[in-house]
């Protein structure tokens, strides 16, 4: 096992995406990663393949992945794979990878993906980059990305335009720095990819119909599995869907003098906009909002049409999760709050006074249309 | 029975973060703290010690000043501390780090009744990779995102959080668990704990102490042995400031709503 990667890296082909399912249903992240994987496979001139593990019958869901760009889906079915289990999944995935040798392997950075990917990378003796927000093969594309997303002097640097390594970019130090990671000596090059960041392709039924399903051989016995999942419990409360929302009204420490009142005002504005309520890390750490509301480096990355920041100072941790919103509106008492540096529209004032006025003004403006 | 807790000293990214002109982090100007999730791992271990009298060993890889953090862990109640530190280990990515830490854990020794605990992820890199990679290198079952841990004999039962709920997972010791902040509220150092900390063993494992472990190989540790390399690092540009509206009254809000309507944003 340890010298698995002593093989010639040129023997590794194709881009693979791990397609996570829960309760037999594909995850939204799968379609995002298949869509991005399609671009990478095109740049490399190779196939894009999904890898789908699940219980008996999971094959029926596989063709849908073709509709977003997969040429082929490898399906591994077993009753032992119906519910995610680190040992069982790592065993099957590593065996199939050693047999079929993909060049790049993308995994959604969900709580499950981030459990699975490092276990597999350690077994396969290859590199893994965590929670990526941008991926490139072509150097020209990467340079263009740097022009838009960095302060680097890209023209003052030497570039090897033939470089075919997967360039995996991710935030570090709470978003203060960005790093692009490569894995030049080992394959597959592995990355977990942050949910909600990659854009999903439009679904194409003809491509779904043309998608090839293959069932690679694998062995999996009870001896391979040292952990037992005794129950899977869904949260009773419906979780807020920040990633899918077009309008987000987030609150921060500024609501501290009246937490319930502040959240209520945010909910009213969100309801008027047809959106949802989010929060900064402070509001989650203080227990004012549940963790599913958190926007930021350690929460969710969002890019809604409108992001309203109420009483959020704009720590870089928070900005990392929302600065790509199409329109940012900030309300803060402190006119030097960093949030104003990235806001499209800023109002310096008390959120408890401004928010209801804004809700009313938006209601009136919509009615007047 | 003992619990080995892997902890890390990190720059406090929640405070002021200084970036050098070349885009690297100015670590010298920043406060360091024990990584928050690691504090939850340590607290979980100390709770088990309170209940069973088991031994708690903390281990970290880092430069010599990380010994200060280990003393704090001893003052909180850990029994022994190990600093893994050598020039050869510098520049390691998560894969190489997990090999070195696994070798250190091997040297401490994992017995049938033992648990290895880590924080879920460190706030400097946010990778959440070293725990599972260590588990693989140690051939231990792993349970990540632990929000509740109970141990009954050799059976460990963990509430493992998902984005939309949780799983209950059972395994046997020895095993590795990564901990999240929902697990507990870390305790403070006590005054007597601070005094006692200086009488407790704190040893350093250098390269020579670990080099005979099959995991330690010049081709798999340090900067040169790491499978991943940094290709570029950079700072994101500041998005240009937009329009600061005058006032904060009804007219201000009406003006903003008017702009949004005119731009078909609402």
Is A176 a residue whose pLDDT tops 50?
yes
Cβ neighbours of residue A254 closer than 8 Å, sequence gap 6 or more? A262, A310, A311, A312, A313, A332, A333, A351
First to last CA, chain B: 62
B94-108 and A113-124 are packed helices; what angle lies between their axes, rounded to 10 degrees? 80
Examine the domain organization and report whether A202 and A322 are in the same domain.
no
- B254 and chain A in contact, CB less than 8 A: yes
For A34, the enclosing helix (H) or strand (E) is: helix A28-44
Q: What is the band of A197 on the pLDDT scale with cuts at 50, 70, 90?
A: confident
Of B129, B163, B229, the CB nearest to A118: B129
Of A87, A297, A306, the CB nearest to B141: A87
Which chain B residue has the Cα nearest residue A2? B215
Q: Name the minimum distance, in Å, from the CA of B254 to any CA of chain A.
A: 5
> Using an 8 Å Cβ cutoff, are B99 and B211 in contact?
no
A164 belongs to a structural domain: yes
Chain B residues inside the 8 Å CB shell of A115: 132, 142, 144-145
Q: Name the minimum distance, in Å, from the CA of B2 to any CA of chain A.
A: 20
Q: Which of A156, A189, A224 is the last residue of a domain?
A: A224
Examine the domain organization and report whether A145 and A286 are in the same domain.
no
Chain A residues inside the 8 Å CB shell of B244: 335, 340, 346, 348
| pLDDT (tens digit per residue) in A216-249 | 999 999 999 999 999 999 887 777 889 878 899 9
- B206 and chain A in contact, CB less than 8 A: no
Segment 23-82 of chain A within 8 Å of chain B by CB: none
Cα–Cα dist A360/A297, whole Å: 32
> What ipTM does this complex have?
0.91
A312 belongs to a structural domain: yes
B241 belongs to a structural domain: no
Chain B residues inside the 8 Å CB shell of A239: 163-164
Is A4 a residue whose pLDDT tops 90?
no
Of A123, A227, A345, the CB nearest to B143: A227
Would you state the structure tokens that stand for residue A365, as one six-digit string? 């403006």
Which residue, A316, A327, A320, A301, is CA-closest to A242? A301
Q: pLDDT at position B218, please?
A: 81
Segment 138-167 of chain B within 8 Å of chain A by CB: 141-145, 157, 161-167
Which residue, A360, A362, A365, A330, is CA-closest to A344? A330
Considering chain B, what is the average pLDDT of its residues? 93
- A210 and chain B in contact, CB less than 8 A: no
Is A3 a residue whose pLDDT tops 80?
no
Examine the domain organization and report whether A192 and A73 are in the same domain.
yes
Would you state the structure tokens that stand for residue A367, as one six-digit string? 């009615």
Task: Please count the structural domains in chain B.
Answer: 1
Which residue, A82, A135, A137, A65, is CA-closest to A106? A135
Q: pLDDT at position A236, please?
A: 72
Q: pLDDT at position A28, please?
A: 93
pLDDT > 90 in chain B, percent: 81
Does A128 contact B228 at a Cβ distance shorter than 8 Å?
A: yes
Examine the domain organization and report whether A16 and A156 are in the same domain.
yes
Cβ neighbours of residue B177 closer than 8 Å, sequence gap 6 or more? B41, B44, B115, B116, B117, B118, B142, B143, B144, B146, B149, B156, B158
Cα–Cα dist A72/A38, whole Å: 11
Q: What is the band of A2 on the pLDDT scale with cuts at 50, 70, 90?
A: very low
Chain B residues inside the 8 Å CB shell of A269: none
Q: pLDDT at position B52, please?
A: 96
Cα–Cα dist B150/B171, whole Å: 11
Mean pLDDT within A42-47 = 98
Mean pLDDT within A135-144 = 97
- A328 and chain B in contact, CB less than 8 A: yes
Examine the domain organization and report whether A322 and A203 are in the same domain.
no
Which chain B residue has the Cα nearest residue A123? B136
Q: What is the CA radius of gyration of chain A?
A: 23
A316 belongs to a structural domain: yes
Q: pLDDT at position A1, please?
A: 41
Lowest-confidence segment of A100-104, A147-151, B247-251 by average pLDDT: A147-151
> Using an 8 Å Cβ cutoff, are B40 and B186 in contact?
yes
Does B261 contact A128 at a Cβ distance shorter than 8 Å?
A: no
Provide the domain limits for residue A319. Answer: 247-367
Examine the domain organization and report whether A90 and A186 are in the same domain.
yes
Examine the domain organization and report whether A355 and A256 are in the same domain.
yes
> Using an 8 Å Cβ cutoff, are B232 and A152 in contact?
yes
Segment 29-68 of chain B within 8 Å of chain A by CB: none
> How many CB atoms lie under 10 A from the CB of residue A296?
26
Does A226 contact B171 at a Cβ distance shorter than 8 Å?
A: yes
The DSSP code for A324 is T
A241 belongs to a structural domain: no
Q: What is the band of A276 on the pLDDT scale with cuts at 50, 70, 90?
A: very high
Cα–Cα dist B129/B67, whole Å: 23
Q: pLDDT at position A235, please?
A: 80
Is B15 a residue whose pLDDT tops 70?
no
Q: pLDDT at position B21, please?
A: 66
Examine the domain organization and report whether A313 and A219 are in the same domain.
no
Dihedral sign for Cα atoms in the order A64, A68, A73, A79? negative
Does B25 contact A176 at a Cβ distance shorter than 8 Å?
A: yes
> Using an 8 Å Cβ cutoff, are A122 and B133 in contact?
yes
Q: pLDDT at position A369, please?
A: 74
Cβ neighbours of residue A219 closer than 8 Å, sequence gap 6 or more? A95
Q: pLDDT at position A173, please?
A: 79
Peptide bond into A188 cis (omega under 30): yes
Q: Name the minimum distance, in Å, from the CA of B204 to any CA of chain A.
A: 26
Is B27 a residue whose pLDDT tops 80?
no
The CATH number that applies at residue B123 is 3.40.50.620
Examine the domain organization and report whether A190 and A268 are in the same domain.
no
- A208 and chain B in contact, CB less than 8 A: no
- B112 and chain A in contact, CB less than 8 A: no
Of A110, A316, A335, the CB nearest to B17: A316
The CATH number that applies at residue A151 is 3.40.50.620
Q: pLDDT at position B26, please?
A: 73
> Using an 8 Å Cβ cutoff, are B126 and A130 in contact?
yes
Is A26 a residue whose pLDDT tops 90?
yes
Q: pLDDT at position A6, please?
A: 55
| pLDDT (tens digit per residue) in B77-107 | 999 999 999 999 999 999 999 999 999 999 9
Provide the domain limits for residue B43. Answer: 2-225
Residue with tokens 């190489």: B96
Mean pLDDT within A3-25 = 86
Q: What is the band of B25 on the pLDDT scale with cuts at 50, 70, 90?
A: low
Segment 115-134 of chain B within 8 Å of chain A by CB: 123-133
B129 belongs to a structural domain: yes
A233 belongs to a structural domain: no
> Using an 8 Å Cβ cutoff, are A213 and B151 in contact?
no
Mean pLDDT within B191-219 = 95
Q: What is the band of A368 on the pLDDT scale with cuts at 50, 70, 90?
A: confident
Examine the domain organization and report whether A77 and A120 are in the same domain.
yes
Examine the domain organization and report whether A199 and A314 are in the same domain.
no
Examine the domain organization and report whether A62 and A191 are in the same domain.
yes
Task: Please count the structural domains in chain A.
Answer: 2
Which chain B residue has the Cα nearest residue A124? B136
| pLDDT (tens digit per residue) in B155-178 | 999 999 998 899 999 999 999 999
Lowest-confidence segment of A10-14, A91-95, A113-117, B202-206 by average pLDDT: A10-14
Q: pLDDT at position A72, please?
A: 98
First to last CA, chain A: 67
Of B143, B161, B236, the CB nearest to A150: B236
> How many CB atoms lie under 10 A from the CB of residue A79?
10
B8 belongs to a structural domain: yes
């Amino acid at each position: 096992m340890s010298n698995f990667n002593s093989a010639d890296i040129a023997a590794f082909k194709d881009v693979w995406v791990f397609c996570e399912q829960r309760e037999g249903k594909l995850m939204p992240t799968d379609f995002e990663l298949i869509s991005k994987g399609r671009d990478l496979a095109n740049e490399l001139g190779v196939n894009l393949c999904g890898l789908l593990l699940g219980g008996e019958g999971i094959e029926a869901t596989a063709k849908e992945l073709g509709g977003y760009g997969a040429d082929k889906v490898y399906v591994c079915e077993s009753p032992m794979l119906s519910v995610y289990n680190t040992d069982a999944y790592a065993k099957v995935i590593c065996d199939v990878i050693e047999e079929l040798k993909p060049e790049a392997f993308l995994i959604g950075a969900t709580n499950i993906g981030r459990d699975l990917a490092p276990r597999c990378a350690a077994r396969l003796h290859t590199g893994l980059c965590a929670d990526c927000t941008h991926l490139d093969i072509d150097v020209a594309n990467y340079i263009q990305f740097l022009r838009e997303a960095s302060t680097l002097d890209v023209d003052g640097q030497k570039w090897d335009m033939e470089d075919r390594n997967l360039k995996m970019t991710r935030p570090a130090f709470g978003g203060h720095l960005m790093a692009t990671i490569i894995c030049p000596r080992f394959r597959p090059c592995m990355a977990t990819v942050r949910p909600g960041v990659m854009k999903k392709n439009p679904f194409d039924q003809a491509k779904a119909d043309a998608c090839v399903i293959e069932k690679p051989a694998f062995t999996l016995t009870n001896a391979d599995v040292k952990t037992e999942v005794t129950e899977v419990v869904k949260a009773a409360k419906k979780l807020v869907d920040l990633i899918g929302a077009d309008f987000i009204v987030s609150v921060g420490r500024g609501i501290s003098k009246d937490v319930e009142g502040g959240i209520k005002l945010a909910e009213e504005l969100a309801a008027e906009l047809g959106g949802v309520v989010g929060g900064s890390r402070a509001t989650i750490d203080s227990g004012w909002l549940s963790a599913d509301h958190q926007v930021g480096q350690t929460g969710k990355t969002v890019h809604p049409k409108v992001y309203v920041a109420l009483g959020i100072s704009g720590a870089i941790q928070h900005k990392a999760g929302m600065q790509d919103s199409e329109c940012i509106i900030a309300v803060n008492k402190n006119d030097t709050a960093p949030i104003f540096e990235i806001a499209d529209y800023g109002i310096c004032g008390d959120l408890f006074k401004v928010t209801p006025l804004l809700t009313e003004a938006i209601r009136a403006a919509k009615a007047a249309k | 029975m003992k619990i080995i807790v892997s902890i890390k000293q990190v720059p406090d990214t929640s405070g002021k973060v200084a970036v050098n002109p070349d885009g690297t982090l100015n670590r010298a100007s920043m406060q360091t703290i024990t990584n928050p999730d690691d504090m939850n791992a340590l607290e979980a271990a100390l709770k088990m010690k309170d209940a069973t009298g088991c031994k708690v060993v903390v281990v970290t890889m880092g430069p010599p000043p990380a010994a200060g953090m280990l003393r704090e862990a001893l003052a909180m109640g850990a029994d022994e501390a190990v600093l893994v530190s050598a020039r050869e280990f510098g520049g390691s990515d998560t894969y190489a780090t997990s090999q070195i830490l696994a070798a250190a854990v091997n040297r401490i020794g994992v017995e049938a009744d033992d648990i290895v605990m880590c924080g879920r992820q460190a706030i400097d890199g946010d990778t959440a990779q070293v725990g599972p990679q260590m588990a693989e290198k140690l051939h231990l079952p792993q349970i990540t995102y632990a929000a509740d841990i109970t141990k009954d004999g050799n059976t460990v039962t963990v509430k493992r959080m998902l984005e939309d709920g949780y799983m209950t997972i059972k395994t046997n010791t020895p095993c590795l668990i990564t901990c999240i902040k929902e697990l507990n509220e870390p305790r403070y150092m006590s005054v007597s704990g601070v005094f006692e900390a200086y009488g407790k063993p704190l040893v350093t494992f250098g390269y020579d102490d670990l080099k005979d472990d099959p995991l330690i190989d010049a081709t798999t540790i340090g900067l040169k042995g790491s499978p991943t390399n940094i290709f570029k690092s950079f700072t994101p540009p500041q998005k240009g400031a937009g329009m600061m509206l005058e006032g904060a009254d009804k007219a201000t809000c009406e003006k903003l709503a008017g702009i949004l309507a005119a731009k078909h944003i609402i």
